[in-house]
Structure 1
């Protein structure tokens, strides 16, 4: 069963009015919207409107109010200028993607030093009803704008678990820590599904992505502890980039450390990249984290990383993401 944050329900928009003219007109707005039953709540200069009435409000605002002195937000998001609201409304298509489960998974192999497949990373791909694909960055931008990130991340995790079940191999599954507000609620359905499918939890590696948006390390640790206590493993992605620093690595002690591709590509001939790659390798081994190099495209880089002590590798040299797992 999904938590409330992960269910796609009709959005409520909070509208905040400023300025003498807007405050004078506000009672008229409230009266008009009340007749169509789209007002949810009124608190001073803040009104909460159901999505069904938001376009009506926008029309009224453009005709009778100073729209530059009006803000909106969804749930507990930050306040935004009203000029951004039409974009949010136009992204309503993301709701259909989630409710209809229009997501599939592509498989990218992760290999060992002998170039044998050790695991697959499952990468979400999204499709329209006509079958055409939607780019992930477009999907996640829409989900953030409409407050659907919780629901989208859950859909991706659940879909990946289903795709992983028949493989009987380790599978790396991405998750966005900021989309999980309470692991005991948000992750319960993911764990239950894995158990229902009879998959050994140690075959799942949940991969922390977008660490640059994590401002609560204790919360992230709670999520990882929840996974670990139930037999799952976890990885830290893009190590060396942004907030995925040596300090973060030592703090989280992941089962797998994924060196960011900017230190992988060209490492065989770049002394600076070699120095950084070795630093992260040493720290990973120090905390018994398996070092994995991602974004490997050239054999000379693979050979250098292998000789240096990296144990796992991922990149186009070994296989691109594909709807059918490479054998």
Structure 2
């Protein structure tokens, strides 16, 4: 099966137009010598011609009931076209690979640095940082989620060489960006092998902000990782989408308790109940439980006493461009 995400990005956009606009649009495209194809009420044309088309439709007040889409993406109303047009900087960022991975420590109960989460930071041509909450929505809008996800994943794999031999790496991935694991993930496997890094040192996190609608597809991805010796984690557990049933079905070797539950858990009986439920379910099949977003020593002590295994948050270290020289975080300082 050929994965459409793995092919070169198809140029141009498609427009769904009312039938009565067909003659008007064709005359305009012929007048401007613009390239296009027309199939029923769907027009496909270049991105440059798309800009002219939208400007024309708006000027002539013909833009109602018009929709557009990037390759392999959903239809969007035309009022989002400016958002799409202004996100073209994302293509340059991907092509120039203006990305750097930051390292945030993940500690064991005794303070030993068990792993780092690899967090992508992006930069424009002037070196100004662009945060993921701007980059990933732009990639989704432009149909470049696969390319961006792959760029981050591959860069994260490369950085493991900078860690101590016993330390692992948590690397995020977006399930909906992966069409067919055999095609989309084999470069990840090949890169780890070429760097002589044991696959067991990688934990790939399911980024839950991309809600998982197709559990069977996610299972196929996780099966591929497991069959190639990688571990995986379910991220943001407890934040709203995940359920105890999903944990039972996927049985991830690692779960990460979301910071919305972690922060203030020592003072909230509601959060304590959520944290205890996920811990109990995970322990049934031997998963390691990681609490993220820890900023308060009281929350850390409560979670540690309850049986959580791993901990991450500003209390122990913020994301930095380099991993720490020390191998252990001194917990007596808190």
Normalised by the size of structure 1, how large is the TM-score? 0.93
Match of 1:144 in 2: 140
2:229 corresponds to 1:231: yes
2:33 corresponds to 1:31: no
Match of 1:11 in 2: 11
8 Å contact kept, 1:7–1:151: no
8 Å contact kept, 2:99–2:121: yes
Match of 1:258 in 2: 256
2:82 corresponds to 1:91: no
3-state SS in 2 of match to 1:218: helix
In 1, Cα distance between equivalents of 2:24 and 2:298:
69
3-state SS in 2 of match to 1:165: helix
Match of 1:158 in 2: 154
2:112 corresponds to 1:116: yes
8 Å contact kept, 2:87–2:142: yes
Could you report, residue by residue, the CA deviation over 1:177-198 in whole angstroms, capped at 9, with x for unpaired residues?
Answer: 1111111111111111111111
Match of 2:331 in 1: none
Match of 2:287 in 1: 289
Deviates more, 1:265-274 or 1:311-320: 265-274
Alpha carbons of structure 1 residues 212 and 27: separation in structure 2 relative to 1, 3 Å: closer
8 Å contact kept, 1:259–1:292: yes
Alpha carbons of structure 1 residues 65 and 263: separation in structure 2 relative to 1, 3 Å: closer
8 Å contact kept, 1:212–1:243: no
Could you report, residue by residue, the CA deviation over 1:262-308 in whole angstroms, capped at 9, with x for unpaired residues?
Answer: 22111122222222211111111101100111111111111111111
2:123 corresponds to 1:127: yes
Give the superposition deviation at 1:212. Answer: 5.1
Gaps of 5+ in 1: none
In 2, Cα distance between equivalents of 1:62 and 1:190:
45
2:77 corresponds to 1:77: no
CA RMSD of aligned residues (A): 1.8
In 1, Cα distance between equivalents of 2:10 and 2:274:
48
In 2, Cα distance between equivalents of 1:82 and 1:265:
41
8 Å contact kept, 2:3–2:180: no
In 1, Cα distance between equivalents of 2:61 and 2:6:
35
Give the superposition deviation at 1:228. Answer: 0.4
Match of 1:176 in 2: 174
In 2, Cα distance between equivalents of 1:116 and 1:248:
30
8 Å contact kept, 2:156–2:171: yes
In 2, Cα distance between equivalents of 1:85 and 1:234:
37
Deviates more, 1:304-313 or 1:9-18: 9-18
The number of residue pairs the alignment matches comes to 322
3-state SS in 1 of match to 2:56: helix
Deviates more, 1:157-166 or 1:65-74: 65-74
Give the superposition deviation at 1:56. Answer: 2.0
8 Å contact kept, 1:10–1:50: no
Could you report, residue by residue, the CA deviation over 1:162-212 in whole angstroms, capped at 9, with x for unpaired residues?
Answer: 111231320000001111111111111111111111100000000001265
Alpha carbons of structure 1 residues 321 and 206: separation in structure 2 relative to 1, 3 Å: same
Deviates more, 1:76-85 or 1:193-202: 76-85
Normalised by the size of structure 2, how large is the TM-score? 0.92
Match of 1:325 in 2: 323
Match of 2:211 in 1: 213
Gaps of 5+ in 2: 327-334
Deviates more, 1:98-107 or 1:258-267: 258-267
